[in-house]
Amino acid sequence: MTVGCGRSFKMYSTHQLSWNVIIPIPAEKLEIEGLLLKKAIVIRLLQDFTFKKASKDLEYFMYVTTLEKIGEGIVRKNTGAVLFSVEFSCVTFKILRGETLEGVVHKILKQGIFLRCGPTDKIFLSHQKMVDYKYVPEENPLFMNEKMPIIEKGTVVRFIVVGARYVEAEKEFQAVVSLEGD
C-alpha cells in the first residue's frame, strides 16, 4: 500500500499571488548592515507563507515555486521598516467535495477514525460511513470487517470527501469522509 495522499492530483494547484512583505529593519540599516536585500525579502516571504498556513479560498499553502517580481520598497513613516510588494507562484493543497483520496489512520475512536492526508490531520471517517465494520476496543483499538482489511493505526484508507470546512482560528480545514461509493 502507498503512504500519502491520493492518486489524483486535483487537490494540488498552482497560483500566482501578490503579497506585501515588510522588512522590519529601518531602510538606512539595510545597506549599513550589508544585508542582501533580495535574500531578506525572500526569507520574510517564506516566514509569512509558513505563518499564514492556509486561507479559506486557496486552502493550504504548500510551497513557493518562483519569485516573479519585487516592487520598489516603501518606507513606513512610524517604524522606518520597508514594505515591498512581492509577486510569486506557489502550490496549494485543497480538499474538494466528491474527490476520492487516500489518507493514513492516526487516531481511532469508538465513533470513527481520524486520517491524515497531505497537510491536514482533521479528516473524520464516522463508523456510520464504514459499512459492516465493527469497533474492537483492544489496547490498540481497530475496526474489523469479515470481508475487508482491518482498519488500524497506520492503515492507508481510500475515501470520498463528503464535506469540508475552514476553521479560521486554527487556520485549518476539517473534512468528513465516507467509504461508500466506487
Kindly list the domain boundaries of the chain, sorted by start residue.
Answer: 12-93, 100-178
> Superfamily for 100-178?
Nucleic acid-binding proteins (2.40.50.140)
β-bridge mates for residue 54, sequence order? 60
* Contact between residue 46 and residue 90 where contact means Cβ atoms under 8 Å apart: no
Residue ranges, the chain, pLDDT below 50: 1-9, 32, 34
- Look at residue 158 in the predicted model and tell me its pLDDT: 93
- Look at residue 108 in the predicted model and tell me its pLDDT: 97
- Look at residue 77 in the predicted model and tell me its pLDDT: 86
- CATH no., domain 12-93: 3.30.1490.120
DSSP state letters, 116-173: EETTEEEEEEEGGGSTT-EEE-SSS-EEE-SSS--B-TT-EEEEEEEEEEEETTTTEE
Residue 46 belongs to what H/E stretch? helix 37-52
Go through the chain and tell me how many residues it has: 182
Q: Distance (Å, rounded) from C-alpha 86 to C-alpha 97?
A: 32
- Look at residue 39 in the predicted model and tell me its pLDDT: 83
- Look at residue 8 in the predicted model and tell me its pLDDT: 46
Q: Distance (Å, rounded) from C-alpha 71 to C-alpha 19?
A: 10
- Look at residue 2 in the predicted model and tell me its pLDDT: 31
